[in-house]
Amino acid sequence: MEIKYFNQGKIYLKGKKESVWINPDKDNLDNKNYEARIIIFSEKTRNFVKLGTEENRVVIAGPGEYEIGGIEISGINSMYVLNIDGIKVVIMGKNEGEISEKKKEKLEEADVLMISLEAKSGELAKKSAANYVIPIDYEDKKEELKDFLDSFDRENLESIESLRVEKENLPEAMEVVLLKTN
């Protein structure tokens, strides 16, 4: 699976059989290099798709359990858990307060945690058992990004274009990865 980050919480996940867009804008969906049948909006305000206008795509914009093309998706408010190619990806959008037991359980199962930067993001990430931790939605939050990276002793971390993740090659310890905005 390959992960690309586009800015402001827009994420593209490319699996072996299916691809997923999270919080795309119209230009992202129209780009032929990044086609996806599954579209997820973590916040209702980001959803610009009119009902029935995306005939060949499945649009998810709310909590629930879904399975599309072999990808399992579980939505709990602004948190989504995706199982793609046997890899559990947890995407944690804006935190809406206290973390429920169900969310804590999902955090502990994560192979990849993509977390929106806020004051307690570093603490939350450290409580997860994720092999990879990737900050998202950091473009306007220079100080929060600095604090987040500092909490992992990775203040001089170089950003990379994309991250390729394979179940059999997950790192033993938690790794922080900073993705460039595409």
pLDDT-above-70 percentage for the chain: 95
DSSP secondary structure, 113-182, as one string: EEEE--TTHHHHHHHS--SEEEEES-TT-HHHHHHHHHHTT-TTPPPBSEEE--GGG--SS-EE--BPB-
Residue pLDDT, tens place only, 62-99: 889 999 999 999 998 889 999 999 999 999 987 656 77
Tell me which of 26 and 43 has the higher pLDDT.
Answer: 26
Which pairs with CB-CB distance under 8 Å and at least 24 residues apart come from 96-99?
99/124
Mean pLDDT, the chain, rounded, equals: 91
Rounded to an integer, what distance in angstroms lies between the CA atom of residue 66 and that of residue 43? 17
Query: What's the N-to-C CA distance of the chain in angstroms?
Result: 17
Both structure tokens of 46: 């980001």
> pTM for the full model?
0.93
Predicted confidence at residue 44, as pLDDT, reads: 77
DSSP secondary structure, 25-93, as one string: -HHHHH-GGG--SEEE-SSGGG--PPTTS-TTSEEE-SSEEEEETTEEEEEETTEEEEEETTEEEEEE-
Domains and CATH numbers, the chain: 2-176 (3.60.15.10)
User: Which strand (E) or helix (H) includes residue 20?
Assistant: strand 19-22
